[in-house]
Amino acid sequence: MIASVAGKVTAIAPDGAVIEVGGVGILVHCTPGTLATLRMGEEARLATSLVVREESLTLYGFATDDERVVFELLQTASGVGPKLALAMLAVHTPNALRTAVAAADLKALTMVPGIGQKGAQRIVLELKDRLGTPEAAVNAALNGERHSAAWREQVHSGLVGLGYSSKDADQAIAAVEPDADADLAAGRQPQVAALLKAALRSLSIR
């Protein structure tokens, strides 16, 4: 498989570009967004996917590795060939496609020429567990982890500073953890002062 090409851009057309690699001009089919990043006579690197057919070898190029990965995953859905997959990436970014599939946003998918209502439904059904998690959901999860780590560290430090052992602090944190989890689930940042007071109460009644 040709995973990437790098060389001088010798031609740019509406649907692709020619990259000179080792004295050979290689035609790479690209989205308008990828073509916009290329400049005649300048060096370029494109992530690529080679589609092999009985009568042809066609190379598709992308500005990022993520676009190439999504391009290849899209083709695992029934009725989605390389041309339609490229059209989907011409209309939507990889993350926008992940979001549309995860949310079953048929309207967004049917914005792509060649995809009707039934085709969009099939794509959602077949790709919902393949394209990966949308960036917004990943960021939310990471933020939740950071908030979780922050309140734990602060409450633990506060208890140890008040003279409690690390073991006692861990047990008190476990007692107030449901309250912190409830805040995170509601999209709120846990309030360290309130959690520290609750932790102290749990220690005082032991």
- The residue type of 78 is S
pLDDT value, residue 148: 56
pLDDT for position 204: 77
CATH of the domain at 96: 1.10.150.20
Whether 76 and 56 share a structural domain: no
Choose between 200 and 26: higher pLDDT. 26
Q: Does residue 136 carry a pLDDT above 90?
A: no
Q: pTM here?
A: 0.63
Of 37, 62, 87, which residue sits at a domain end?
62
> Do 118 and 156 belong together in one domain?
no
pLDDT for the residue 135? 59
Least confident range from 37-41, 120-124, 183-187: namely 183-187
Q: What is the mean pLDDT of the chain?
A: 85
**How confident is the model over 138-153, as a mean pLDDT?**
56
85 and 142 belong to one structural domain: no
Residue 187 has pLDDT above 80, yes or no: no
Q: Is residue 21 within 8 Å of 6, Cβ to Cβ? A: yes
Range of the domain at 182: 135-204
E strand or H helix that includes residue 147: helix 135-161
Which residues have a Cβ under 8 Å from the Cβ of 80 and sit 6 or more positions away? 74, 88, 123
Percentage, residues of the chain above pLDDT 70: 89
Of 111, 127, 143, which closes a domain?
127
CATH number of residue 46's parent domain: 2.40.50.140
* Confidence bin at 141 (pLDDT 50/70/90): very low
Tell me how many domains the chain contains. 3
Phi, psi torsion values for 122, nearest 5 degrees: -65, -40
Which of 88, 109, 127 terminates a domain? The answer is 127
Q: Is the pLDDT of residue 137 over 50?
A: no
Place of tokens 């993350």: 95
The Cα 175–Cα 129 span in angstroms is: 36
Are 4 and 46 in contact by the 8 Å Cβ rule? The answer is: yes
* pLDDT tens digits along 12-31: 998 999 999 999 999 999 99
pLDDT at site 106: 93
Q: Is the pLDDT of residue 206 over 60?
A: no
**Are the CB atoms for 6 and 45 separated by under 8 Å?**
yes
Across the strands, what pairs with 50? 59
Alpha-carbon distance of 49 to 45, in angstroms, equals 13
